[in-house]
């Protein structure tokens, strides 16, 4: 992003909602650009926020808050820790923070006390003589005092909570226990956000709502944030990430229809955003591309749970149109892993013919995760159709491909090598099952379940079809009905055997398997009680549901 921007140039007409924070400036244009920048930063589009704050500094070079905004936007955030902040970004942020402080220190300058306070607090994030990992702590401590002085300022509340969350990003809760993670300020964050949301305007504040969703999604009770999710939905229509954010709660509550529709709204918002020419090439790439991909990923994930094959397959096509080779080359460690999503979808819907003929990428040196996933997909497809020797060959090619995947490849919060370890166990299990080695097969599939459960929290999970769906289906096929019932109960959250984020409420696949288990076990009353929920889930599907996994070859009758 260049700083040589014309503040009077026509800025795209985005609908960013009604929220605005009046700042000390005599320029209406500077105020407008600042408002846009603040909303974009709350929507985690920090590059566009920086552009708007820069325009504000050009419209009013004496506006200290415009420089504060630029420094804030260019720094680390919940999804971008210090190690991903480039040297130019850091230098620009430090310069902007310094300029903001210089402006408020000038004689005769009158700014609001709260503006002076947050500008001074931000200096702690950019002290050049303090190690990077200590800056977030210093900044959060400074914001604690600002919050104590201005406890009813909604932006201060959001900035304080954000500062605390950045101390332990994506580690606010201990998943196995459901308790706050040791050393995390989880309860302080929760109290701060809930108190702020109870204030006038709190439930219309985009950042408070956004942060509360992130806070509660890993908690044992994500449904508490449903109110906040619904308040955020459509609050900032053209901010794709905020259109998407409610679905972090929707999906945990088993509302796959809302997850699909809100991510579709997010996709459309991002299409509008990326259709605009902008400085610095962000229209083709940049860090926000990850958020754009995330919306497609999430939509596919929900469609898989809802058994909506058309939505899933068409969205994979849309995603692949975004993930052009030149885009992936701009950030291969962040983007290339998404090339394997189509394999997950084809496995989910049992598209064995399509999967077995899926071509390998031409540039396998770039598409390393994708190459490994395609070999995995070939192996599963061949195993499912009885082509054992071909499956074994693909198994070996998969293993060789995995060795070429760098440790640095990620799929959001998960390392691709950890995701591929699940693929290895799944393929081993599928192949041994087709060979008739059922004990070995179930040992491998159980290992896949354990590996999936051990992944760091992510939403969507990097392994997109729950491992329990294949495990349960094949257990049931071999008459291990009681074991299968337990597997499905865990997946559906009918018991507390797995942490809350690992439960997939209301999904049609596990519901059908659970219902079949009940019938086989003579639990007729329980089966009848489940049928309304199962019928509702089946009604949303666009394919017949005959098993929790197409890897099972025998079919079962389900509720219609």
| 8-state DSSP, 410 | E
Instruction: Give the ranges where 465-552 is alpha helix by DSSP (H).
Output: 467-477, 481-492, 508-520, 524-539
Report the pLDDT value the prediction gives residue 283, as an integer from 0 to 100. 46
Q: Mean pLDDT, to the nearest integer, of 79-101?
A: 96
At 278, the pLDDT band (50, 70, 90 cuts) reads low
Closest CA to 470 of 559, 356, 558, 383: 383
Q: Mean pLDDT, to the nearest integer, of 158-179?
A: 98
Is 36 in the same domain as 183? yes
Distance CA 349, CA 555 (A): 14
Is 352 in the same domain as 491? no
At 2, the pLDDT band (50, 70, 90 cuts) reads very low
Give 293-354 as a DSSP string. Answer: HHHHHHHHHHHHHTT-HHHHHHHHHHHHHH--HHHHHHSHHHHGGGGGHHHHHHHHTT-HHH
Is 347 in the same domain as 395? yes
Between the two ends of the chain, the Cα-to-Cα distance in Å is 56
Spatial neighbors of 301 by CB under 8 A, at least 6 apart, are 251, 259, 460, 461, 464
Distance CA 90, CA 167 (A): 18
Is 494 in the same domain as 411? no
Distance CA 72, CA 529 (A): 53
Q: What angle do CA 478, 482, 483 make, to 5 degrees?
A: 70
Report the pLDDT value the prediction gives residue 286, as an integer from 0 to 100. 86
The answer to whether residue 536 is domain-embedded is: yes
| 8-state DSSP, 489 | H
The answer to whether residue 378 is domain-embedded is: yes
User: Which domain CATH number covers 180?
Assistant: 1.25.40
Structural domain count, the chain: 3
Q: Return the C-alpha torsion angle 463, 464, 468, 473, nearest 10.
A: -130
pLDDT for residue 479 is more than 80: yes
**Residues 369/375, Cβ–Cβ less than 8 Å:** no
pLDDT for residue 477 is more than 60: yes
Q: Enumerate the β-bridge partners of residue 414.
A: 411
Is 163 in the same domain as 210? yes
Domain closes at, from 281, 296, 311: 296
Phi then psi for 497, rounded to 5 degrees? Answer: -75, -20
Residue 112, number of CB atoms within 10 A of its CB: 15
Residue 361: domain span:
325-441
Report the pLDDT value the prediction gives residue 109, as an integer from 0 to 100. 85
Distance CA 504, CA 222 (A): 13
Closest CA to 49 of 264, 262, 288: 288
Is 383 in the same domain as 240? no
Instruction: Characterize 99-111 residue by residue with b for buried, 16 or more Cβ atoms within 10 angstroms of its Cβ, and e for exposed.
Output: bbbebbeeeeeeb
Give whole-number Cα distances, 328 to 27, 359, 408, in Å.
41, 18, 14
The answer to whether residue 95 is domain-embedded is: yes
Distance CA 11, CA 59 (A): 13
The answer to whether residue 383 is domain-embedded is: yes
Q: Mean pLDDT, to the nearest integer, of 200-225?
A: 99
Closest CA to 269 of 315, 238, 236: 238
At 10, the pLDDT band (50, 70, 90 cuts) reads confident
Residue 36, number of CB atoms within 10 A of its CB: 23
Report the pLDDT value the prediction gives residue 285, as an integer from 0 to 100. 59
Query: 279-283 long-range contacts, Cβ below 8 Å, gap at least 24?
Result: 279/1, 279/2, 279/5, 279/51, 280/1, 280/2, 280/47, 282/1, 282/47, 282/48
**Residues 312/540, Cβ–Cβ less than 8 Å:** no
Please state the pTM of the whole predicted model. Answer: 0.96
Give whole-number Cα distances, 214 to 19, 55, 165, 412, 429, in Å.
20, 30, 9, 15, 35
Helix (H) or strand (E) holding 415, with range, is strand 414-415
Q: Mean pLDDT, to the nearest integer, of 50-59?
A: 98
Report the pLDDT value the prediction gives residue 125, as an integer from 0 to 100. 97
Q: Mean pLDDT, to the nearest integer, of 536-559?
A: 85
pLDDT for residue 555 is more than 70: no
Q: Mean pLDDT, to the nearest integer, of 299-323?
A: 98
Residue whose tokens read 């900044």? 139
Distance CA 464, CA 287 (A): 23
Is 67 in the same domain as 213? yes
Is 417 in the same domain as 492? no
CA–chain centroid gap for 453, Å, is 17
Instruction: Characterize 183-209 residue by residue with b for buried, 16 or more Cβ atoms within 10 angstroms of its Cβ, and e for exposed.
Output: ebbbebbbebbeebbeeeebbbbbbbb
3 state DSSP class of 462: coil
Residue 94, number of CB atoms within 10 A of its CB: 18
Distance CA 165, CA 170 (A): 8
Is 329 in the same domain as 292? no
Mean pLDDT estimate for the chain: 96
CA–chain centroid gap for 464, Å, is 13
Is 282 in the same domain as 408? no
Is 360 in the same domain as 218? no
Report the pLDDT value the prediction gives residue 128, as an integer from 0 to 100. 84
The answer to whether residue 397 is domain-embedded is: yes
Is 72 in the same domain as 163? yes
Kindly report, residue by residue over 109-126, the tens digit of the pLDDT: 899 999 999 999 999 999
Bigger pLDDT: 127 vs 19:
19
pLDDT for residue 550 is more than 80: yes
**Residues 467/427, Cβ–Cβ less than 8 Å:** no
pLDDT for residue 559 is more than 70: no
Would you state the structure tokens that stand for residue 125, as one six-digit string? 């994030």
Distance CA 410, CA 338 (A): 9
Using omega within 30 degrees of 0 as the cis cutoff, is the peptide bond preceding 460 cis?
yes
Q: In the 3-class helix/strand/coil scheme, how is 265-287 assigned residue by residue? A: HHHHHHHHHHCCCCHHHCCCCCC
Distance CA 293, CA 304 (A): 17
The answer to whether residue 507 is domain-embedded is: yes
The answer to whether residue 48 is domain-embedded is: yes
Per cent of the chain over pLDDT 90 is 93
The answer to whether residue 306 is domain-embedded is: no
Q: Mean pLDDT, to the nearest integer, of 213-219?
A: 99
Report the pLDDT value the prediction gives residue 129, as an integer from 0 to 100. 82
Distance CA 377, CA 386 (A): 14
Residue 168, number of CB atoms within 10 A of its CB: 18
Report the pLDDT value the prediction gives residue 132, as an integer from 0 to 100. 83
Kindly report, residue by residue over 417-476, the tens digit of the pLDDT: 999 999 999 999 999 999 999 999 999 999 999 999 999 999 999 999 999 999 999 999
């Amino acid at each position: 992003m260049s700083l040589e921007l014309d503040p009077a140039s026509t800025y795209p007409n985005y609908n960013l909602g009604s929220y605005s924070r009046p700042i000390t400036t005599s320029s209406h244009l500077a105020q407008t650009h600042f408002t846009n920048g603040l909303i974009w930063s709350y929507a985690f589009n920090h590059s566009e926020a920086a552009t708007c704050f820069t325009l504000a500094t050009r419209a009013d070079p004496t506006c200290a808050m415009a420089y504060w905004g630029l420094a804030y936007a260019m720094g680390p955030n919940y999804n971008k820790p210090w190690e991903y902040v480039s040297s130019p970004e850091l230098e620009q942020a430090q310069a902007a923070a310094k300029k903001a402080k210089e402006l408020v220190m000038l004689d005769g300058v009158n700014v609001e006390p709260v503006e002076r306070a947050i500008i001074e607090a931000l200096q702690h994030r950019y002290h050049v003589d303090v190690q990077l990992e200590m800056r977030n702590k210093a900044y959060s401590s400074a914001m604690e005092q600002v919050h104590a002085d201005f406890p009813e300022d909604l932006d201060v509340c959001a900035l304080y909570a954000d500062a605390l969350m950045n101390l332990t990003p994506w580690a606010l809760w201990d998943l196995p226990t459901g308790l706050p993670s040791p050393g995390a300020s989880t309860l302080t964050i929760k109290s701060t956000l809930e108190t702020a949301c109870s204030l006038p305007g709190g439930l219309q504040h985009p950042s408070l709502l956004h942060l509360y969703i992130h806070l509660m999604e890993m908690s044992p009770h994500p449904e508490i944030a449903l109110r906040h999710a619904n308040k955020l939905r459509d609050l900032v229509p053209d901010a794709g990430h905020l259109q998407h954010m409610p679905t972090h709660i929707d999906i945990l509550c088993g509302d796959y229809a809302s997850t699909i529709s809100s991510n579709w709204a997010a996709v459309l918002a991002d299409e509008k955003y990326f259709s605009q020419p902008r400085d610095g090439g962000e229209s083709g790439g940049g860090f926000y591309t990850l958020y754009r991909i995330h919306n497609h990923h999430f939509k596919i994930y929900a469609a898989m749970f809802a058994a909506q094959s058309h939505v899933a397959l068409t969205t994979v096509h849309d995603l692949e149109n975004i993930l052009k080779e030149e885009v992936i080359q701009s950030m291969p460690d962040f983007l290339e892993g998404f090339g394997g999503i189509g394999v997950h979808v084809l496995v989910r819907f049992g598209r064995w013919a399509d999967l077995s003929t899926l071509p390998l990428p031409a540039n396998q040196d770039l598409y390393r995760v994708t190459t490994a996933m395609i070999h995995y997909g070939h192996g599963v497809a061949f195993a499912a159709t009885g082509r054992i020797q071909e499956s074994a060959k693909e198994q070996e090619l998969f293993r060789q491909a995995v060795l070429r995947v760098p440790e640095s490849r990620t799929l959001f919060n998960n390392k691709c090598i950890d995701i591929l370890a699940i693929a290895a166990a799944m393929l081993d299990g599928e192949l041994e099952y087709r060979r008739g080695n059922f004990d070995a097969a179930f040992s491998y599939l159980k290992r896949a379940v354990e590996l999936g459960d051990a992944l760091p929290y992510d939403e969507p999970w990097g392994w997109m079809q729950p491992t329990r769906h294949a495990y349960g289906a094949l257990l049931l096929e071999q008459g291990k009905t009681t074991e299968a019932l337990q597997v499905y109960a865990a997946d559906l959250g009918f018991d507390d055997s797995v942490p809350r984020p690992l439960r997939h409420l209301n999904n049609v696949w596990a519901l059908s398997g659970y219902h079949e288990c009940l019938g086989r076990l003579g639990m007729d009353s329980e089966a009848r009680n489940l049928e309304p929920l199962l019928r509702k889930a089946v009604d949303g599907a666009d394919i017949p549901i005959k098993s929790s996994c197409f890897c099972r070859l025998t079919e079962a009758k389900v509720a219609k």
